[in-house]
Amino acid sequence: MHASHPWLAVGAAGIYLGMSGLCVVAWRKARGGATHGGARVWGGLAMIQLFWAADALLGIRLGVAEMGRVWFKEQGWYAEHRPFQAALSAVMLIALGVLTWGSWRVARTFPLSCRLAIGGALLALVPFLIACISMHFFEDLMDWPFGLLGLGTLARVGGCVLTGIGGWRFLRERSARET
């Protein structure tokens, strides 16, 4: 576990597993009807939530950053890692913008519930990518206190909440159509 308080990591993993379960239920409901690709959306979101649970317990993002650090040291490039991190950060922000734009273009015909859940997954992706790059300026920004939580934690919680609201709304809409 990577958290300073292991019970927080276990709690986060439990929440992500719960969200994954909600997405699986929505996926099963979506398979039975024409929901504009809803089954694929909910199936993909279930897998993403499982990944977030594994990350909470195992610290995958920290492992990726450490592998990059070791590789840079082995290649003798570590003294010059800042410009690479800055370039990678710019590429990541551009890629995230393109991914967000593409997701919204594809999802514009999807029900609001699916769009909320996709937005939640994209929001939770930002702090993960920042930690993988290990760009200390951005990491410090993600740790910046915003109320009781750091900004990065708040983004992940917000992403989880959006996914949960989207899943709840999707199941409510499906139940209303079935009655």
Q: Where are the domains of the chain?
A: 6-178
For the whole prediction, is pTM greater than 0.85?
Answer: no
Is the per-residue pLDDT at 56 higher than 70? yes
Distance separating alpha carbons of residues 147 and 128, to the nearest angstrom: 20
**pLDDT value for 20:** 95
- Token readout for 3 is 């958290």
- Half-sphere exposure of residue 177: CA atoms within 13 angstroms, side-chain side: 12
Count of CB atoms within 10 A of residue 55's CB? 23
Q: Which residues pair with 146 in a beta bridge?
A: 149
CB within 8 Å of 118: residues ≥ 6 apart: 41, 45, 103, 104, 107, 110, 166
73 — pLDDT class (breaks 50, 70, 90): confident
Q: Which residues pair with 149 in a beta bridge?
A: 146
Is the per-residue pLDDT at 9 higher than 60? yes
Long-range contacts of 26-32 (CB under 8 A, 24+ apart): 26/167, 26/170, 26/171, 26/174, 29/170, 29/171, 29/174, 30/170, 30/174
Distance separating alpha carbons of residues 91 and 80, to the nearest angstrom: 18
Long-range contacts of 64-69 (CB under 8 A, 24+ apart): 64/132, 65/131, 65/132, 65/133, 65/134, 68/132, 68/133, 68/134, 69/134
Q: Which amino acid is at 126?
A: V
54 — pLDDT class (breaks 50, 70, 90): very high
Distance separating alpha carbons of residues 146 and 161, to the nearest angstrom: 17
